[in-house]
Homo-oligomer: A and B are copies of this chain.
Amino acid sequence: MTGASVSGAGVLRFRPSAGDYVWTFGGVPPVARVAPGTVLELFTEDCFAGRVRGVDDLVSRVVEFPFVNPQTGPFYVEGAEPGDTLAVHFVSLEPARDWAASTTVPLFGALTSTHATATLQPPLPEVVWIWQLDRERRLCRFESRFSEYTVDLPMDPMHGTVGVAPANLEARSSLVPDSHGGNMDTPEMRAGVTCYLGVNVEGALFSLGDGHARQGEGETCGVAVECAMDTVVIVDLIKGWPCPWPRLESDTHIMSTGSARPLEDAFRIAQLDLVQWLESDYGLPALDGYQLLSQAVEAPLANVVDTNYTSVAKIRKQWLPGSPAAGGVHTRLREQAAAYLASR
């Protein structure tokens, strides 16, 4: 294994070489075995494998399918078995370069026909935008390609792709979001958040990639402000707490996700999972949870462009009955992250 080194008790640093990346969830051997509670200091390449560096680097020319959306991992988490859940806490996400790229991709995106929403129309023009990242001031600069307009947007780093090996003996492309996680593309996957992923195979086989300096809800053109990322996560294990769809927890909210087509099915999955989570962990009867959610939920779209669309259902923890989710693992990981950051 190239680039992996245990730099201290419970900290693993892994910076993949070109040949170390993987392009699927499932179907590939782990790059390392880690104990629950390990801090992972990772480098992730951007979704173009770093090949789009200027406005002339059209994806159709420089990227070779299926070698798109490289993932760092997978990591075998010791003791993880089907029926358990991985808790992945995002300690920090820092863009690794001072620029990022976005682009239209022929027959991909929400405002174009696609290989699935198939029409006789020609594809949209292929255009690349290079975004300048001011990492100190936490800004991303948009530069119009067809006018003089520029504007600075706040940086809000996130990972588009986070997941484990899927169930049913499958291996899925890293472009796909589904119940194993994968390419969900939700801006909620930011520092300070814990992501819960149900374990489908022994060791879970966790990997991540697809850093975005920022992204709009729905990822309209299909491509965010794509950048390489230096990311620190803590990977923990919750035994015997199944998690049917990826869930997230921040200091203020719990969130369920659903990934499916059509988009209303993604919405239904996320909303139903949240109702059922409120029932199982918070003791709120299902119909009461349905009613409370109907008035209290936020439903930010993640992506409306990928193989499956992803919807998030999000509710404030202060509005819920007392007990913390999964026995308070988020709070504990928050503290471990603070200790790690203080010691760095």
Contacts and interface: CB of A to CB of B under 8 A. Distances in A.
A197 B84 CA distance: 39
B118 A304 contact: no
A168 to B, nearest CB: 4
A290 interface: yes
A283 B147 contact: yes
A102 interface: yes
Given A151-B292, A263-B262, A119 B129 contact: no
Given A113-B121, A294-B102, A263 B267 contact: yes
A131 B265 CA distance: 29
Given A113-B119, A149-B284, A268-B111, A294 B219 contact: yes
Contacts of A74: none
A116 B178 CA distance: 11
Interface in A230-271: 258, 260-265, 267-269, 271
A168 B309 CA distance: 19
Contacts of A325: none
Nearest to A114: B265
A121 B122 contact: yes
B284 A220 contact: no
Contacts of A293: 216, 220-221
B171 A65 contact: no
Contacts of A149: 284, 288, 321
A4 interface: no
A220 B313 CA distance: 10
Interface in A11-40: 23-24, 26-27
A269 B110 CA distance: 10
A275 interface: yes
A27 B273 CA distance: 31
Contacts of A135: none
A58 to B, nearest CB: 14
A112 B111 CA distance: 12
Nearest to A309: B264
Contacts of A309: 264
Contact of A119 (B111, B283, B304): B111
Given A104-B290, A216-B294, A118 B269 contact: yes
A285 to B, nearest CB: 4
Contact of A265 (B116, B215, B283): B116
Interface of A: 23-24, 26-27, 65-66, 102, 104, 110-113, 115-125, 127, 129, 131, 140, 142, 144-147, 149, 151, 153, 167-173, 175, 214-225, 258, 260-265, 267-269, 271-273, 275, 283-288, 290-301, 304, 309, 319-321
Given A24-B170, A111-B268, A268-B304, 6 more contacts: A24-B169, A27-B171, A65-B168, A66-B167, A168-B173, A218-B271
5 interchain residue pairs of minimum CB distance? A262-B262, A146-B285, A263-B263, A216-B297, A217-B299
